[in-house]
Amino acid sequence: MSAPKHALSSEQLAHLAQHIKEWGRALGFQQIGITDVDLGIHRDHLKRWLANGYQGELEYMSAHGDKRLHPDQLHPGTLRIISARMDYMAPEVETLKLLDHPSKAYVSRYALGRDYHKLIRKRLTQLGKEIEAQVGGHGYRAFVDSAPILERGLAQKAGLGWIGKNTMTINPKAGSYFFLGELFTDLPLPIDSPFEALHCGSCSACLTYCPTQAFVSPHVLDARKCISYLTIENKGPIPEHFRKPMGNRVFGCDDCQLVCPWNKFSKPTTEPDFHPRHQLDQADLCDLFRWDEPTFLKRTEGSAIRRIGYERWLRNLAVGLGNAATTPDVISALRSRVNFPSALVQEHVIWALEQHNESPQTSP
């Protein structure tokens, strides 16, 4: 494998592709697939989705011109995309029990541990260097939610799974609790067969059980109604008609995955970094709401939660407390933030107190 990349024969490229998959598994990825840069039907689906305005404030979905539709424009010279998936479901996280306890804070499973971006990008870069060590210099670049890439479409084309009615990539042997990342390369590697079958069948559990009925139709999500969008991407007030359905979901939502029958095949992650930190898989809403900003910054260091900032963190928690059972602790916690120097936080605190038939009377 020491020949220059452009001198590699078809047989050498096929062997290299097999080695790439083996190296990927050694780096902690559960599956590696290879595809070309033609997005086909996924390009058309995105155009229709954007035309309907379903992206809301997700401006990055419509930005960057055609780069999202033509991956080779992101990294000139790219011929193939190596798509990788890594499981993130931590063992012994009692997700459903948390949703049944409104005094507890529900944080989406993917965000309980360390932020996945750096870890996966580092592993993909290591994979690129491993390839380089075998074939010499090649143009490559790793991406993990860091550029306008239709990663789920690429994963489907690379054979990693199908896109379910809940718009998640689903693998028949692993469900949907996994991260995706991509390594762009200018090597003309053989491509894998796309995952053509759709195994959702007549099941519509994800559409039915979505707390805010965010699915317009199978495979079409109106992000503006999605709790993940509302608690993470949305920078302003959470619309009042969505606050009750949010329940105790303070960062993201997993309901459309929790009810998916294919997730009975999900495997616990082998990455310690994805295990829950600071007991966020069992934290009380009141306790989190009492964090001051330095505590928030310290305990969300290296976490995806930090990206929403302290103000939106309090906003989300206030909604959760408004949906919690009425107790002296809940009322006390809310009143402690009535005069918080943020109109956004104040609005949600006052709303929460009203749910408990309480006035926004402040503590002395």
For residue 254, the number of C-alpha atoms closer than 13 Å in the C-beta half-sphere is 21
To the query of whether residue 145 is one of the catalytic residues in this protein, the response is: yes
**Structure tokens, 270:** 């082998």
Q: Among 189, 281, 238, which Cα is nearest to 57's?
A: 238
- How does strand 249-251 pair with strand 106-107? parallel
**Structure tokens, 243:** 């606050």
72, 145, 284, 329: the active-site residue: 145
User: What is residue 169's three-state secondary structure?
Assistant: strand
**Structure tokens, 219:** 């495979």
Which residues share a beta bridge with 33?
83
Q: 58-64: long-range contacts (C-beta < 8 A, 24 or more apart)? A: 58/223, 58/229, 58/233, 60/148, 61/148, 63/148, 64/147, 64/148
- Among all residues, which ones are annotated catalytic? 145
